[in-house]
Structure 1
Amino acid sequence: MGSIDKNNKGEDVIEIINSFELIFKDKTNDDINSNEIDLQYLTKRLNQQSIILPNEILIGVYEIVEDGLTPSIEFIKVQNGIQEFNELNIGLIFNPLLIQNNNDDIKRDGNFFQIINSKFQEIKSKEAEKIAIDTILNLKENNFNNELENFKQIYQINKKFLYELSSRIEILLQNLPQIKDFNKLRHLNSLISKLNYKINDDLKLNLINFQNNLTFYMEILMILQNLKKLNNLQSQISKIII
């Protein structure tokens, strides 16, 4: 169950642009109103919405069904229960399986949903159909599990990549004081700055360049260290000769 909002664009046209779930009261053995909407929550929700989204108002209720396009008894009860908040009292019944199967024979007024109590000539329903499509995705548990597994794999790849990048940056920073080529240092600083905010396909190219630069700087470092060793060795040899 849920509510439907609209954007005021004309008397004969209504556009469904948003929705939110309605909260039922907690079910207890002694609660005779366990199937009623929590009007206290609804009041608070609409008060907040009037400040944040002043152009959106509560216009009705939707229900997602699995058989045909017939509203349930609970749907009618909800409609009656929120009449004081419901400005237009429109009802929409969705069957996501009809959209999934593209069953034109059960279309109502050219749509895969049933409109109840509507005085409008046109209802724009992109958001409404999105609700139904999202429900289809939720029903496809196998696909969801596959997507979850793919997400885990992507996470592991990114985790490994970021760890490797972090390790290389750490090694490089430890050796930066020994590098004498300041032009290359400025280039490297610019590259690291780009890596901090460019999270897209260019990141891979930047990483390759970074690895190449790292190799280059490490080679310079080795040369400097070898030169230092040679100087020390030369000094020792000179002392021996003398």
Structure 2
Amino acid sequence: MPPVTDLIVFALALAAAGVVSGLLAGIFGIGGGAILVPVFYQVFGYLDVPEAVRMHLSIGTSIAIIVPTSLRSFTGHRKLGVVDLELLKGWIVALPLGAILAAVIAALISSQGLRLIFVAIAFAVALRMLLDQPHWRLGRDLPPNPWRWIAGVVIGTLSGLMGIGGGVLNNTFMTMYGRPIHQAVATSSGVGVLISIPGLFGYIWAGWGAPGLPPLSTGFVNWIAVALIIPIALAVTPYGVKLAHALSRRQLEIGFGVFLLLVGARFLYSIYG
């Protein structure tokens, strides 16, 4: 067990991550998982959590935190009247189904495999955001069913495998079909709700009885980290919502892209560095 002073330092690091995740939940409509997963991975490693379950635990714990932060973010964005409620209603089965599929896959895949999935998606979305061109569009409006429904399942699955609330992929999906970035961000907060709740139970199931988990863990969810971060993240999320609507579309895209590149690079280093 690390010295008490070191544990205090890491508790402070988790608190700082809570601030960042709360802001991200508001700004980008995401649950903050893209910053929490790498932080958890480092902290759990320092606490000697085995490599075989460390990434799984990081993702599951992140999903648990996304439940309240996405709910808070969705409430804030809905009050501003820019959430596409019709799209969310059409995905009320597709997104949870994808989140459950992600938990099943996570129960079977290695830690390195999960990190590679995280990196691949983060880099792809970041490049799309940073190199965005007006002609990079798949259509003028969202596709009809069954393609729209299938997209919901894919977004739910990939987001569940990354430990994020779906904003990363939904923002890309909606903007590629001509929707404004602010509407995409606002709708993503609702996507996070539909992914994180079933995802939470899925990761508890996937990690049930797994060896090497730290104290106060239920499956691949560690409640100590959840308890430390949720109050802070909830407190700062409304400020992120306000900031999102004060920035321009391009500012949001550039900030989002740079953020994803940094996170992806850090995980790539953890695999091959």
Same fold (TM over 0.5): no
The TM-score range, normalised by the shorter chain, is under 0.3
Q: Which structure is higher in helix share?
A: 2
Q: Which has the larger radius of gyration?
A: 1
Q: Which structure is higher in strand share?
A: 1
